Structure 1
Amino acid sequence: MNDYVQVDFLHSMFKNKTWKEIKLNKFDSIKNIKKKIYTHTGTLYDNMNLYAYDENDIDNTQVFLSNDEYCLNDYNVKDNYIIYIQEKNKTYNSDDIIYDIDDEQKLQKLAHLKYTMNDEEYDKRPDNIRNFLKKLREKNKTQTNLSNQQEENNNKIISHDPICSSSIFNNSYDQELYQIGKRCRIKLGDRRGILKFVGNIKNNNDIYVGVDLDEPLGNSDGMYKKKKLFECKGDKYGYIGNINSIEVGDFPPFDIMNLEEF
């Protein structure tokens, strides 16, 4: 059961409709998630962009699900998240753009749409996404955040499939590059650490990695199916995700003294 998350769907073409408590496998590829969304909304899987966020913490959680080969777990999508479906047809307008989403390249492509009207005109529209997110932020300022009760369960990666230890069902990766003990980084968020596990944890051809992170910014404590998959410093110091979600190389720990913003 913990392989799954329950989310709500919102759609750019259905302003007053919400698909409630949709159960998704967080290890399914984004491409497969899009195909499931098609069965609910009728939007073709190759004609949509997906964004995810926690409505109780929009600014810190909103993310563009841009890579079809990644899974929801790679983007740290949790129970009770909202998945916003933006239909990519030729008739959409600036009402359908989510602002401040973490994908500069995509926003550059949409820049001409964003500036088809000035801010005052755009803000007068009651159904635009900027106002939608603004109302959510204002609403959440008056509420107590109760979502932490589910955090522990969401951060444990548990499967009904047997653990395959470090065994690999295929060798379609660079074994010389992905060696245990090498430094690496999670591409999403540039979180850094040491590669501790490479293997297949589900009965398929997907290869997963386990990383002991320098900082507690992960989605695991190194446990899988209530057994230790790899050693890490503690809760949230572990990361489990698809092998394509990391980059191995010379990625030393961040030196806080060298970060100008501090």
Structure 2
Amino acid sequence: MFAEPLAYDSTVKLTLTHNISTCKMIDIRFDLMQTIGSIKESIEKRYGSDPKFMQLQLKDKQGNFISYMNDDVKFLGTYGAKDGYEVHIIDNNPNSVLNGLEDVNKVQKYTISDEDYDKLPVNMRKFKQQFLQQQAAGGNLGQNKPEIDDNYQEAEALQIAIGSRCQLNQGERRGTVRYVGQVPQMGLGYFVGIELDEPTGTNNGNIQGFQYFQCPQKFGIFVRPNELTVGDYPVLDFDEI
């Protein structure tokens, strides 16, 4: 009987470093039967350096120089490359695309005059002025909010009948009223449960294990009575949305 030949892996994993780029690429696999010319082409795709201006240095695992690899027709294996060795790329192109690429000081900064900045409809300066004016007038965030208790928006809720068609004031989503009443899991006061026409809701009528009404998942939503308008709101066709 003949012994089966041992499997031979002709590839090695090398580390790539560059004299311009700070990017270090680890465990890049190359075939020992690859020519240096094809390796340069592969490096060009990774770094952008032109092979015509490229010099390659082979170093061992400790970073000690072994040899230059500049003969494009020679195979990688002829230089004794092994797993973990380093290929250091030297880009001698004075017009290399990498020159200045990592120096942020060479990047042109966007500037705008104070006059043009003030013309912007929204900017930080205007926001700060409005905030300071509000503070000077004694207006703090959260001030003047209505007091919320068990009867909050009860009067508005009593005007809404279950089964009514409605439209949300924000987003103009439409649906059918399925529940009117208190929802302790969401806070004090009154809420309206709506089955939306589209799956843009947050639930199926169930809040923390309590089923207030039934509808498919994502079709249900609860809002305050003043966040919707009851009326003749037919289901929209896709062409109308």
TM-score for the superposition, normalised by structure 1: 0.33
* Structure with bigger gyration radius: 2
TM-score for the superposition, normalised by structure 2: 0.36
